[in-house]
Structures are given as structure tokens and as C-alpha cells.
């Protein structure tokens, strides 16, 4: 187990209310001391990590990642996905169950745990299916899945479109204490769509997915959580209307939690126009110029990139706590899945390795403060896992194993997917310059990613 | 092999002396009014050639035009074929049904194959919006969009512009009403770009299910007016352009019945009385006579439909000719 002294960094630990310069002494992988800067001399044999000018936070927790194993190992494996996580500052990943076969039995939950242990990079907590075979008809054995270690239940990739099944999942799920995580999409309103319904889809002649296709099931899920007392967690919210529904629901005490993805906070559907989208007067949009051609399938994601007014509402939701969590919805694909016509390309963005840099554009633009950003990547998801019965380090506790990330909020770098650890090179950010980089990641007291030696 | 992202190519221009030569015709959104005028001017010269006893020149001798049609088409494909032959080019027709496409080959692989076989021009018709952009990113040949999904049909729009100009002597200041299934219409989209650039007043008309609120935005869509009532839309119109109504739209629930559509949106002699006395009717074809257009109008004195078809060859000749790097003295 590792012995480290991390010196001179600004420690941001939102759960502990910490935001000041502190040194961390890690002995045998556990936090020995959190001390005033310079007060602890490095004990002999300890690795010294100079964090002057850098930020030190608990390791990021991603509630929503697709690791593709078993069945789609050409897109990603648990090994490559967890390596990508380490490079992105993430020390805990919740793996979505839409694999082949889907994770809908205790044995398959155990398989994910086994593979993650063999990979040995970061922590993986499997999410299991809501319905058997993800078919949306009958409940999977939720209690047995929970006993096997499923952290929640989701048919993600598909919605739980049957309101009766969702009702039963929320009710029966009460036996487990774990959330039902829904990909909110009304199939009839979203059928065949590949872009946000709006002027951009209209201009490009792409079938649009209206905001209402998300908001209708968001409202339904809230009503059903209210009816049953069950816990619904809403995945990757993307519209202003969804934020307003969740805010109102939380206001009256409904058991609902929600997440948003980095790309929905920062990118808009103008990216589908390619570089031409830069030319429109996007009032207030983030200064992330792209040089994509039009119809670049790497911008295709579900839910689709929306309008700037949606981004602003999502950011406001993050600030006031309506949205608990930032999750990547890391969706790696093989390049062939994207090297085709827009309407036929796969949905998804490979997000683990760009999440922090992309999110920092919000901080640099003054739209979000760094401690709030860190809170939604650490304490927010950490408390959700805690409520689900999983104690994952999301704050620095003396005596406990350390998961942490060392961040350089000012480092300027260019996104080069060919250098990703993830097999999924599918990101619209290829070639984009970001400011904010993960420098080093420690999981369970050991360094699992060290980017300090990387040439600038 | 990694999917390369090319930086957005400067679309260039066909106008002589342009700093960058245009290589592809993908839509009219990146054309200037000057460039459109130059294409129309060239098309007029081509129309003269077509009027000769032997309508052939050798401008594209030794060049190969591949018609790559992933969707049914008669008039557009034949029009391109005649245009290419009139310029002396070799023409190969490829349809999705009779090729390796039917065996699952990807679009990119197919066009790379066509290029390896020596295609200088790839004319592509595809059911997916944006497909010609994907093709243009991967080959050196010139790509001409012959209709992609709901997105664009620039050669149709240019032949419409040519026909309007030929008839009225101008385009600026004319009121053009496009009526019908705007949502699914690549013809409407390209015509909006072309007409507004040349100063026409464009009114889009159709039932809200085929012209939804989200489609028309002052932000991105150029200045056009939306009018759901055809009678009001037609007041003062110079050009009326009904679009083909596919019967699947009714089956998909976008319309209660064809009968009601006909009552509200068919262009017929009585309705046309609302338009200007000199108003003309155009149609991109193929027509559903008795649905979006009555037979009296389709074949009546105000119809320019056959002229559109004939002009299509001249416009496509002009585009092939100019893309080949040639210029027309003006």
C-alpha cells in the first residue's frame, strides 16, 4: 500500500466543507493526516507529490458509464474503461448493464465484480437491469441482484416505457433500498430521431427528438415515485423542462435524484452544423470552437445535444442542488459505428477522459464555481451510493483508504482521442483545446494514473 | 483506420477568379447570390447547346460521372445522365439494389471503390440527410448532391431558380409560395436558401404537422413567412410550388385524411384566382395529380412543370462544366 505526502495543494473536499491549502499524508494507503501546509516533514520512504498550484479532491465518482463487457469488447472492456476512468480522475464507476448478455442475474453481477478486480484499476459497481433481459416486460430478480451487489437498477439505453413496470420496479425496489435509474425517453415521441428537435435539426433535415420526449417520462417517473414512495434516479437529464420538474418534485419531498452529463452542460446542437455553427451568434455560449464538418456523427448522443437555454437551466440546476450529480454517460463505440450516415450512426460519446477539462469551461466562464463542480463529482454521487448502502470514499476521512484526484485547473491541452486509454475514440472534442486537466489519480491509496511526466 | 476529420473546407466558388475553386455541390447554403447568378448564366449557354441539331460538346470527354442512387429516381438520374452525355462524359449508373450495397458495404467503402474505378464526379442520391457530406469528406472526386433525405436538393433548386428567372426575367421581389410537406422536403429547404439569397419573398404553407413550430426559426432559418391558410398565402403570389405529398404521411398519422388535405391545400384553378394574374405553378415532381395539384393546373397554361424538367438538363450541364474547372466568358 502506498505511502505519500501530497504537499502544497488546494484541498477541495465539499463534503467536509474544506477549501484551503492542506497537506495529505497517506500511510499504507490510508489517510494518516490532513495537515496545515509545511507542518509535516516527509517521512523516509514516502513519495512526495508536489501539488503546489494544483487542486486536490476526493476521487470522482461516476454513476453512469458503459464498459461494454461482456459482449462488446471491441468497443470497451472493463480494463480499458477503468484505465480511462483513472485518467479522468474517477475512482468509482457504476457500470450500466446493457451488455450482451445484459446484467440481469446475480452471476452476471458477480462477473463484473470479478473482471473489475482482475483489472485492478479503480472501483466498479455494477448496475443491474430493471427488467429481465432488458426487455421491458417483467421485473428482474431485484432482491437477488441487490444481494449480489447491484448498486441500482436500470434498463439504460432503453427507457422503462411501460408505466406499470416502472411502478412495480419502484415499489419492489423498496425491498432493496437501491434506486431505479431511468433513461427518460417516450419512444413514440423519439422514434427514429437523431438530433434535438429545433432549428438545427430542421435545417439539417434530421428527425428531431423533442424536449417533451424526455419531460413526459420525467413527469411520469416523479408521479410514480410519489405514488409508491420508491426512489427514482433520473439519468442524463438534458432539458430545461426536466430541471423544472425535478426542482418542483424535490420541493415537495419526492424521492428523486438526478444527474447531468458534461456534454449536455457545455455543447449545443449547433455542433451538428460543424464549424459553421461557430458563425452563428450564440449569445453566451461557451467559447469552445469546433472544426468539425457538418453531420459529424461524433456529435450524436442520446439524449441529443440541446439548446443553450437548456445548458443554462442544467447549470442552474447543478448550482442549486436540483441536480445532484454529474455523470459521464461514457459511451465508447468502435469507429465503424460512427463512420456512417448521421441517421444510422450509434449514439454516444466517450466521456471519461474529457469530463473534467470540459466541465472546467463552465468554471472558467464564471458559470459554476469549482467547489460546486467538485461536489457534484464527489459528495453528490457519494451520498447517493451511501443511501443505496455503499460506502465509497467521497470525502477525506482520517484512517480510511484514500481515493483522490490531483487537478490542474489551468493546464491547457488538446484532446487527442488516439491517446485515450478508452477504446472509444468517439468524441466531438477531438482536436479541441481545453483548460483543466487531471494530473494524478490515487485509488485505494495507490497511484493509478500519473500524468506529471507527460510532455506538455 | 481512423475516421479523419477534415477541417471545414472553404466551400469555394464557381465564379471565375475565385480564390478557392468549388469542388462539391452539397447545398445552396454556401452559395453567394453572385455564384448562383453565374450558374444560371452558364445554364442559359448550355440551353443553347441543347437547342442545336446535335446537342453535344466535348468539354468533359474522358471524364467519368457516376450516378450513385440509393433511392428511387427517374427524372433526376436521367437528367444527370443526359447532361453528362451532352458534355461528352462517360456515365455509369449505380443503384443500391444492384450493387455491393445490398450486401452491406458501407457508404464510405462504396464511394472509395467508385473513386478507385476512376470516377471524376459522383452524383449521389441518398435517403439519409447529410450522406453527401460524408462522401465529400472521403474522396477527391467532385460530389454533387442529387437529394439527401429531408435535407437538400440543390440542383432542383437551381433549376427552379433558372425556370423562374427565364419566365419572369428576375427573381428579386417575386413572391413564391411553397405549399405542402415542408418538414420532409429537401426541395423546400434548398429553394428557401436559393430564393432568399436572390431576394425573393418566400412563404411556406402547409398543415402544422408538416410545418411544425420548431422548424421555422428566425434564428437559423433565413427570413421566411409561415402561413397555414393557403388562400391567404396565395394573395399576391407570383410562383406557387406545391410539393409532392407522400401517402405514407397520412398513414403515419400526420394527416387525418387525404380528402381533408386536398380540401385545405390542393392547388386548383379556383385557389389560383387568389394569386396574381400572371402567376405560374411549378412542381418538383413526381406529381400526385388530384392530391397536391389538380390536373387542370398541372397541365394548364400556368404550369411550368415540363419546362422545369427540360431546364434541369441545362442546369446540371452547367454544374458539371463549371466543376470541371471550365469557365464561361461573360
Residue B8 lies in a domain: no
Q: What is the pLDDT of residues A102-134, one digit of tens each?
A: 999 999 999 999 999 999 999 999 999 999 999
Q: Is residue B46 located within the same domain as residue B93?
A: yes
Which residues of chain A neighbour B189 with C-beta distances below 8 Å?
A: 203, 205
Calpha distance A381→B103 (Å, rounded): 47
What is the distance between the alpha carbons of residues B92 and B124, in angstroms, rounded to a whole number?
12
Q: What would the pLDDT profile of A196-225 be if each residue is shown by its tens digit?
A: 999 899 999 999 999 999 999 999 999 999
Interface touch A205/B150, C-beta < 8 Å: yes
Examine the domain organization and report whether B97 and B208 are in the same domain.
no
Residues B158 and B304 in one domain: yes
Same domain, B239 and B286: yes
* Sheet of A90-95, strands arranged across: A60-65, A90-95, A123-126
Domain boundaries, chain A: 58-387
Beta strand pairing call for A18-27 and A30-35: antiparallel
**Of the given ranges (A203-207, A452-456, B293-297), which has the lowest mean pLDDT?**
A452-456
Domain covering A58-387, topology: TIM Barrel (3.20.20)
Chain A residues whose CB is inside 8 A of the B214 CB are 197-199, 201-202, 208, 210
Contact A335 B149 (CB under 8 A): no
Residue in B closest to A338 by C-alpha = B3
B 237-296 near A (Cβ less than 8 A): none
Q: CA angle, B10 as apex, B9 and B16 as ends, to 5°?
A: 135
pLDDT band for position A456 (cuts 50, 70, 90): very low
Residues A417-441, mean pLDDT to the nearest whole number: 97
Contact A212, A240 (CB under 8 A): no
Q: Read off the pLDDT of each residue in B236-244 and give the average, rounded to a whole number.
A: 98
Number of folded domains that form chain B = 2
pLDDT mean over A431-440: 97
Q: Is residue B92 in a domain?
A: yes
- Span A29-55, mean pLDDT? 95
Residue in B2, B5, B221 closest to A293 by CB: B5
pLDDT in tens, A128-173: 999 999 999 999 999 999 999 999 999 998 999 999 999 999 999 9
CB distance B5–A296 less than 8 Å? yes
A114 a catalytic residue:
no
pLDDT band at B9 (very low <50, low <70, confident <90, very high): low
Same domain, B112 and B92: yes
Residue contact B8–A274, C-beta within 8 A: yes
Q: C-alpha grid cell for residue A305?
A: 445535444
Cell of A310: 437548456
Number of CB pairs, chain A paired with chain B, less than 8 A apart: 98
Q: Which residues of B touch A338 (CB under 8 A)?
A: 3
* Beta carbons of A116 and A123 less than 8 angstroms apart: yes
The DSSP string of B96-109 is GGGSGGGGT--HHH
Mean pLDDT (chain B, rounded): 91
- What is the full DSSP assignment across B266-285? -B-HHHHTTS-TT-EE---S
* The pLDDT value given to residue B103: 65
Q: What strands lie across the sheet with B142-148, from one edge to the other?
A: B90-95, B64-69, B121-126, B142-148
Quick one: B204 and B174 in the same domain? yes
pLDDT higher than threshold 90 for residue B11: no
First-to-last C-alpha distance (Å) of chain B: 46
Q: Which of A23, A310, A329, A408 is catalytic?
A: A329
Instruction: Reply yes or no on whether the pLDDT at A286 is more than 90.
Output: no
B152 lies within 8 A of chain A by CB: yes
pTM over 0.90: yes
Asked if residue B106 and residue B95 are part of one domain, the reply reads yes
Least confident of A170-184, B98-112, B144-158: B98-112
For range B296-322, the mean pLDDT: 97
A359-406 residue pLDDT tens: 999 999 999 999 999 999 999 999 999 999 999 999 999 999 999 999
Answer whether A179's CB lies under 8 Å from A152's CB. yes
Q: What is the CATH number of the domain that holds B60?
A: 3.40.50.1370
Three-state DSSP class for A181? strand
Which percentage of chain B shows pLDDT scores above 70?
Answer: 93
Where would I find the H helices in A161-275? 163-173, 187-190, 199-204, 212-228, 240-251, 262-266
Residues B272 and B129 in one domain: no
Provide the residue range defining the domain that includes B239.
154-308
Amino acid at each position: 500500500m502506498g505511502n505519500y505526502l501530497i504537499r502544497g495543494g488546494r484541498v477541495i473536499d465539499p463534503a467536509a466543507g474544506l477549501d484551503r491549502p492542506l497537506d495529505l499524508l497517506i500511510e499504507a494507503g490510508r489517510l494518516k493526516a490532513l495537515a496545515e501546509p509545511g507542518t509535516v516533514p516527509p517521512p523516509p520512504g514516502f513519495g512526495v507529490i508536489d501539488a503546489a498550484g494544483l487542486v486536490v479532491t476526493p476521487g470522482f465518482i461516476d454513476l453512469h458509464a458503459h464498459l461494454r463487457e461482456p459482449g462488446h469488447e471491441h468497443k470497451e472492456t472493463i480494463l480499458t474503461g477503468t484505465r480511462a476512468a483513472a485518467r479522468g480522475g474517477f475512482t468509482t464507476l457504476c457500470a450500466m448493464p446493457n451488455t450482451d448478455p445484459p446484467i440481469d442475474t446475480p452471476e452476471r453481477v458477480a462477473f463484473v465484480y470479478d473482471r473489475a478486480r482482475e483489472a485492478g484499476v479503480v472501483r466498479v459497481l455494477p448496475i443491474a437491469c430493471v427488467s429481465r433481459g432488458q426487455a421491458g416486460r417483467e421485473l428482474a430478480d431485484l432482491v437477488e441482484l441487490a444481494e449480489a451487489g447491484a448498486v441500482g437498477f436500470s434498463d439504460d439505453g432503453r427507457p422503462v416505457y411501460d408505466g406499470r413496470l416502472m411502478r412495480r420496479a419502484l415499489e419492489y425496489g423498496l425491498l432493496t433500498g437501491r434506486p431505479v435509474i431511468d433513461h427518460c425517453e417516450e419512444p413514440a415521441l423519439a422514434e427514429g430521431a437523431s438530433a434535438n428537435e429545433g432549428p438545427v435539426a430542421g435545417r439539417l433535415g434530421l428527425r428531431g427528438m423533442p424536449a417533451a420526449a424526455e419531460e413526459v417520462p420525467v413527469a411520469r417517473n416523479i408521479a410514480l415515485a410519489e405514488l409508491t414512495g420508491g426512489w427514482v434516479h433520473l439519468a442524463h437529464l438534458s432539458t430545461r423542462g426536466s430541471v423544472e420538474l425535478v426542482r418542483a418534485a424535490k420541493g415537495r419531498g419526492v424521492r428523486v435524484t438526478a444527474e447531468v452529463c458534461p456534454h449536455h452542460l457545455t455543447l449545443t446542437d449547433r455542433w451538428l452544423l460543424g464549424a459553421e455553427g461557430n458563425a452563428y451568434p450564440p449569445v453566451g455560449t461557451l467559447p469552445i470552437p469546433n472544426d468539425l464538418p457538418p453531420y459529424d456523427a461524433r456529435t450524436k448522443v442520446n439524449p441529443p445535444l440541446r439548446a443553450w437555454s437548456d445548458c443554462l437551466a442544467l447549470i442552474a440546476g447543478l448550482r442549486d442542488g436540483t441536480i445532484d450529480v454529474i455523470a459521464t454517460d461514457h459511451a465508447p463505440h468502435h469507429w465503424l459505428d460512427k463512420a456512417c450516415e448521421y441517421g444510422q450512426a450509434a449514439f454516444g460519446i466517450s466521456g471519461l477522459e474529457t469530463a473534467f477539462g470540459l466541465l472546467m469551461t463552465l468554471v472558467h466562464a464564471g458559470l459554476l464555481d469549482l467547489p460546486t463542480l467538485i461536489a457534484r463529482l464527489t459528495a453528490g454521487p457519494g451520498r447517493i451510493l451511501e443511501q443505496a448502502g455503499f460506502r465509497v470514499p467521497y470525502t477525506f476521512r482520517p484512517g480510511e483508504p484514500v481515493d483522490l484526484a490531483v487537478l490542474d485547473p489551468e493546464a491547457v491541452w488538446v484532446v487527442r482521442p488516439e491517446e485515450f486509454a478508452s477504446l472509444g475514440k468517439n468524441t466531438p472534442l477531438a482536436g479541441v483545446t481545453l483548460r483543466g486537466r487531471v494530473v494524478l489519480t490515487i485509488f485505494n491509496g495507490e497511484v493509478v494514473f500519473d500524468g506529471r511526466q507527460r510532455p506538455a | 483506420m481512423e475516421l479523419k476529420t477534415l477541417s471545414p473546407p472553404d466551400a469555394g466558388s464557381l465564379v471565375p477568379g475565385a480564390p478557392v475553386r468549388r469542388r462539391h455541390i452539397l447545398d445552396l447554403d454556401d452559395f453567394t447570390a453572385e455564384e448562383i447568378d453565374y450558374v444560371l448564366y452558364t445554364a442559359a449557354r448550355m440551353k443553347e447547346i441543347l437547342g442545336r441539331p446535335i446537342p453535344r460538346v466535348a468539354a468533359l470527354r474522358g471524364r467519368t460521372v457516376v450516378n450513385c442512387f440509393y433511392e428511387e429516381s427517374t427524372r433526376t438520374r436521367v437528367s444527370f445522365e443526359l447532361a453528362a452525355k451532352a458534355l461528352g462524359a462517360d456515365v455509369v449508373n449505380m443503384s443500391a439494389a444492384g450493387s455491393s450495397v445490398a450486401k452491406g458495404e458501407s457508404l464510405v467503402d462504396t464511394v472509395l471503390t467508385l473513386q478507385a474505378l476512376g470516377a471524376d464526379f459522383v452524383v449521389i442520391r441518398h435517403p439519409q440527410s447529410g450522406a453527401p457530406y460524408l462522401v465529400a469528406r472521403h474522396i477527391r472526386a467532385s460530389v454533387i448532391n442529387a437529394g439527401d433525405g429531408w435535407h437538400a436538393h440543390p440542383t432542383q433548386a437551381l433549376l427552379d431558380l433558372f425556370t423562374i428567372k427565364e419566365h419572369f426575367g428576375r427573381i428579386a421581389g417575386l413572391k413564391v409560395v411553397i405549399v405542402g410537406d415542408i418538414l420532409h422536403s429537401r426541395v423546400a429547404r434548398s429553394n428557401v436558401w436559393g430564393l432568399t439569397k436572390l431576394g425573393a419573398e418566400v412563404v411556406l404553407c402547409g398543415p402544422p404537422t408538416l410545418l411544425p413550430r420548431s422548424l421555422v426559426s428566425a434564428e437559423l432559418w433565413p427570413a421566411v413567412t409561415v402561413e397555414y391558410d393557403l388562400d391567404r398565402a396565395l394573395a399576391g403570389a407570383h410562383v406557387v410550388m406545391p410539393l409532392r405529398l407522400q401517402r405514407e404521411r397520412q398513414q403515419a398519422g400526420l394527416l387525418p385524411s387525404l380528402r381533408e388535405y386536398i380540401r385545405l391545400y390542393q392547388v386548383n384553378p379556383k385557389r389560383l384566382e387568389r394569386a396574381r394574374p400572371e402567376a405560374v405553378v411549378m412542381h418538383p415532381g413526381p406529381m400526385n395529380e388530384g392530391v397536391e395539384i389538380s390536373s387542370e393546373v398541372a397541365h394548364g397554361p400556368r404550369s411550368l412543370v415540363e419546362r422545369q424538367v427540360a431546364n434541369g438538363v441545362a442546369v446540371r450541364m452547367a454544374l458539371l462544366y463549371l466543376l470541371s474547372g471550365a469557365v464561361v466568358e461573360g
